[in-house]
Structure 1
Amino acid sequence: MKIVIVANGTLSETDRLLSRIQQADMVIAADGGAVHLHHMGIVPRIIIGDLDSIPEHILSFFKEKQVKILKHPVRKDQTDLELCIEYAIDHGCTDLLIMGATSTRLDHTLANIFLLRRLADQGIPATILDAYNDIHIVVSRLTLTGRAGDLMSVIPVSDRVKGLTLKGLEYPLTDKSLCMGSTMGISNVFTQDKAEISLNSGAVLVIKPKEDI
């Protein structure tokens, strides 16, 4: 099941995102993500969170549309986005796209990005998409599509990454070991329409930036 979660962070280029959301089997709003969806004219299947970021008139609108509301207390041990991800996993998610997960709050942004590790460990393809980047965490393999000249960075996010292999890029690697803190994988370049990343152990953060915005 393809699921889209829309969170309360920065969300722009709504026209470009609209088609991606409409292709989903289920749309989940993480608290204030419901505001983004309201602006786009999209009704989510469910709204999850403490509801502290949704104006009353928008909440009332979605209640009238019979959207399921799963309210959590403000004082809790998990973020609204993590609760949404758990819901998605429990409801058969096989492909997850997360929007609105990045913002000027670096702490929230980093926490949201590292939520991808849980999905990667369970073999669920997941992407955080914003106006400037496509973001993934990889623990085994990933193939990305692009165009020759597109950029891609691969950043170790475990103490050691072993067996890292990169194909379809200007700076390929074969069975390379990298330690967390290495910048070797920054700003690689697509040489064809596909790039392949694989590794034997550890985890890498893969970011495909958009420089043409």
Structure 2
Amino acid sequence: MSWRPLQVVNVKNCENNYAVILLNFSLDFIEPSDENHFYHIWDNASIRIAVDGGANYLKQTFTSCKFPDIISGDFDSIKPPVLEFFKQKNVKIIETPDQNETDFTKAVKVLINEIEQSSITIDRVLVLWSSCGRIDHIMSIVNTLYQMLDYTSIPLYLYNLNASLSWILKPGVEHRIEANEKSSWCSLVPVGDACIVTTSGLRWNLNKKKLSFGSLISTSNEFDFINHKEVKVLTDKPILWSMDIPKK
């Protein structure tokens, strides 16, 4: 399975066959030079979902971007005037009060249902977020990625704008990830279970190595640009791949 990370986030010259989910994280981390990139990603998506308080930042910060198609969540974070504003703009409001799932998990299910009902072709989902937040929220986001492996075949990418990209690699297939010479780090972190992992194209490769919490996890690894143009990964269990996406 081939992965081209820069193509995933480069939406300027591609068909808009992707969806965007904006999580409830502050967008204050976005520098002015990154705002146009946000607008390109958000405005060109086929489906746009704001999760709960994520709509606050659309209303307050990105006033010239397109409205979301859907706002979903248990609505404990969205400000009442913001919710009312988008209602008046005929944005679809879907309340998901179930506290046994996170708003992100429920938003993915809302998205998949919307795709199935509209017959829109979507080949990837970009999940916009900020890593500046609570560690339990970050862990729950990764847990949703893991859970959704059995729910949809559409890849979900966590994208911290012009900072990093993360997604789950499925087991039992060789993954070939295009290297980027400007990337300074990458990582392989097990999720769910311990993994037996073999790689090539990294500075510190793994040869049928067990990765698990309590033993080894492969963080702060690097690409071997001198000898390889891609990284190959084979794992027997799902694993989280992350890499930095350098400034353009």
Taking structure 2 as the reference length, the TM-score comes to 0.73
Structure 1, gaps ≥5 residues long = none
Structure 2, gaps ≥5 residues long = 1-16, 116-121
Aligned match of 1:23: 44
Aligned match of 2:234: 199
Q: Structure 1 residue 71: deviation in Å?
A: 1.6
Q: What's the CA shift string for 1:127-149, capped at 9, x where partnerless?
A: 11225432222224362552255
Q: Structure 1 residue 78: deviation in Å?
A: 1.7
SS for the counterpart of 2:188 is strand
Aligned residues: 210
Aligned match of 2:190: 156
CA contact (8 A) 1:148 1:190 kept: no
Q: Which has the higher strand share?
A: 1
Please point out which of 125, 149, 172 is paired with 1:96. 125
Q: Is 1:209 matched with 2:225?
A: no
Q: Structure 1 residue 200: deviation in Å?
A: 4.1
* Percent of aligned pairs sharing the same letter: 27
CA contact (8 A) 2:188 2:241 kept: yes
Q: What's the CA shift string for 1:184-212, capped at 9, x where partnerless?
A: 52222123385434324212122213687
Aligned match of 1:43: 67
- Structure-1 separation of matches of 2:55 and 2:233: 36
CA contact (8 A) 1:160 1:177 kept: no
Please point out which of 73, 81, 84 is paired with 2:107. 84
Q: What's the CA shift string for 1:91-125, capped at 9, x where partnerless?
A: 33531111126442111110011211133344321
Q: What's the CA shift string for 1:25-66, capped at 9, x where partnerless?
A: 101011111112222133100000122222232222211221
Q: Is 1:134 matched with 2:165?
A: yes
Please point out which of 164, 189, 192 is paired with 2:222. 189
Give RMSD over aligned pairs. Answer: 2.7
Which runs of structure 2 are paired with 1:66-81 in the superposition (5 Å)?
66-73=90-97, 76-81=99-104
- Structure-1 separation of matches of 2:49 and 2:159: 15
Deviates more, 1:103-112 or 1:84-93: 84-93
